[in-house]
Structure 1
Amino acid sequence: MTLKPFSGMRVVVYGVGTMGAIATRLLVDKGAEIVGAIGRSPSKVGRDLGDVARLGISLGIPVENDANAVLSRGADIAVVCVGSYLSTMRPHFEICLGNGANVVTIEEETIFPWTTAPDHAKALDALAKSNGVTLAASGAQDVFWVNLVTTLLGAVHKVDRVTGHCRWNVDDYGPEVADHLMVCQPKAAFEKVITSDGWPEFVARQTLEALVARLGLTVSAISSDVTAVTLDEPIHSTSMSTDIPPGGMIGTVDRTRITTNEGPVFSFAMEGRVYRPGETDTNAWKIDGEPDLELNCNNANYRFTTCSSLINRIPDIIAAAPGVCSLNMLGPPTYRHH
């Protein structure tokens, strides 16, 4: 009998929302031993993880809201599917690392945290090293926006410019993400926030910085901006359970541009919005150089591939040197057969 790839691996599922539920199913398929589950929703705490993840089976693992208690029982790795910024995720990571568990997370800033959250990154790096464990992020950006691009660049003699654009469905990730992007709000409210508070740099910047670092290039300047996306007709948002009126916010486009000291210029635009019927997740990159090349994927299914990329990364992260491991420090991802 052939062992599954994650046989004997003790895993805690930290966060049991949409993404944590998908990750749970993939972990079960690959033979991981799930030893704990952490959630905060009163509607989920106390229920069996298999029930929460809608697997149709009982896993014998109740969802608990005391992360320290769960992790103190011991785990090889925590699969963390909670938030998007290191400032809010640091306490969660500290509990995992402090209890000697490696961490793989969909939290996007850890893709390359050294410039946007340096203090948090340095503190977590020291904690991870002191406990002999690793913290790293993965997801669709790992495969689609860094590794596919670096592989394609391996066929280029000289690069002048690299330009990327992706589109993802806000409704795939629940009301918290939609609320963060001010879906359903009037455009004037968004512009007021931009003027008064600014807009946190999201995944586009961390992705480009990891890509540039992977290529051995150095940054001379970075600029980022964000714009609202609206429609002239009403559209329904499933995550917000409402119809968005004409002119209301359906999402945003986050853009980052990096010029390098060596010459090549990189730009990336992330368009996250509510979809019309029939639209799909896209990934498109264009390389201007010798030769000019293009890469296109018109059905990237980011919600699922974020989770499948995350789970496939687990052996790499357990084997990595202790500390915070930004995406440029990991080798190419690979498939794990089961």
Structure 2
Amino acid sequence: MTERPYRVVQWATGAMGKAALRTMLDHPSTEVVGAYVYGSSKVGRDLGDIAGRPATGVLATDDVEEILALRPDVVVHAARIGAYGSHDDDVVRLLESGANVLSINGYTDPHAHPGHRLERLQRAGEAGGASVMGVGLNPGFVAEQVAVMATAVCASLEHVEVVESANARELRDPRYLFDTLGFGAEIDAVDPNDPSWGPAGALNGMYEEVLAAMAHHLGLELERVETDHACHPALTDLDLHAGTVRAGTVGHTRWRWHGVVDGRRRLTMSIHWFVETAHLEDAEPPLWRVHVTGHPGLRMSIDLEKHPDDRSRMGAEQYAVAGQVINAIPHVVAAAPGVTVRPALTPARGAGAIDLSAR
């Protein structure tokens, strides 16, 4: 902990942003000095009221200039996922002002897309003496940290796959469920492998960065990323908190990105988002599976769970994202200006494609 708490701003207070806000209000290492909100109903409200905490005397705003004037050490950027790079203008302004940025939706490894975007972010960070870094669960944790760490037992490595299975039934935001994730769309009207479809355009770039970060940590040279996405129809009408998903429309999306190294698919990220389980191999899958093929191979199943005494409405995933944020704050503050790729949990690198089985 520093001599004084880190001055932090929460950018967006949706489900995950609100969880981060609560945790930072509670944590002794952080002083929440402001929050940027998108909804007019939240403007002018006390942050304690938004977060379900005692009054703080700090009011939410939708004025970026007010946020910049606060001179925070760190801004926790939790805006809704949009088209890849759509939040760059805001991130650049924050960096140029001297605020470090932690993003829970991307910026895992912008080096995956060299060129104007990377150069712009790097210049902004250098101009303000600040850095941007991606944190979170996926992106941010299970692939770039846990899966990479798992390969430390391998004398040789062929392939690493991460599979996420996320039940979207409890989501309450219609825009997020239907627009961002694509549920309820007519099956015949969408092609999930067409980047012009909104959900694909939002997700492809973000998870290409995840594979780039994995490759970097493993000492692999990523040539390209290939997609193998699919949509499955709901079998019945489903009345959910966010609205109704009609039978025959998208009720399950299976996103899959393959990282190609030396002409072969060596890294795979698979994500199943679903509102019914009919198209899952396992009706009750773990949140994550990690499958490493090598000498030796390895399989892991991972779930998150709340503390047994916790009666709050926060879910385990919300706690986990907030924990990632709190633990990353000192690192983004200490990082060199510009774009920062979060270091792996293990120094194990360079296993590459060496085959020791015949020796």
- State if a TM-score over 0.5 links the two structures: yes
Alignment match, 1:248 = 249
CA distance in 1, matches of 2:172, 2:123: 32
SS in 1 for 2:120: helix
- Residues 41-96 of structure 1: per-residue CA shift (max 9 Å, x gap): 111001111111222x1111111111122222211111111033552101211221
> Which of the residues 51, 54, 67 maps onto 1:53?
51
Distance 1:210-1:158 versus aligned 2 partners, 3 A rule:
same
SS in 2 for 1:197: coil
Number of residue pairs aligned between Structure 1 and Structure 2:
322
- Residues 116-169 of structure 1: per-residue CA shift (max 9 Å, x gap): 474222201111012111111100032212211111101111011112211123
TM superposition shift of 1:275: 5.3
CA contact (8 A) 1:46 1:64 kept: yes
| 1:3-82 correspondence to structure 2 within 5 Å | 7-31=4-28, 32-55=30-53, 57-82=54-79
CA contact (8 A) 2:217 2:344 kept: no
User: Which moves more between the two structures, 162-171 or 32-41?
Assistant: 162-171
Distance 1:289-1:182 versus aligned 2 partners, 3 A rule:
same
Alignment match, 2:294 = 289
> Which of the residues 164, 167, 180 maps onto 2:165?
167
Structure 2 spans left out of the alignment, 5+ residues: 278-282, 306-315, 347-359
Alignment match, 2:101 = 103
TM superposition shift of 1:8: 1.8
CA distance in 1, matches of 2:3, 2:155: 40
1:313 equivalent in alignment to 2:328: yes
Report the TM-score when normalising by structure 1.
0.86
CA distance in 1, matches of 2:143, 2:130: 26
1:146 equivalent in alignment to 2:144: yes
Alignment match, 1:269 = 270
Alignment match, 1:336 = none
Distance 1:86-1:248 versus aligned 2 partners, 3 A rule:
closer
Alignment match, 2:112 = 115
- Residues 207-255 of structure 1: per-residue CA shift (max 9 Å, x gap): 22110111111013421132113221232332x2x23222221242111
Structure 1 spans left out of the alignment, 5+ residues: 334-338
Alignment match, 2:176 = 177
TM superposition shift of 1:186: 1.8
Letter in 2 for 1:122: E
CA contact (8 A) 2:96 2:130 kept: no
CA distance in 1, matches of 2:268, 2:39: 38
Letter in 2 for 1:188: D
User: Which moves more between the two structures, 166-175 or 32-41?
Assistant: 166-175
Alignment match, 1:129 = 126
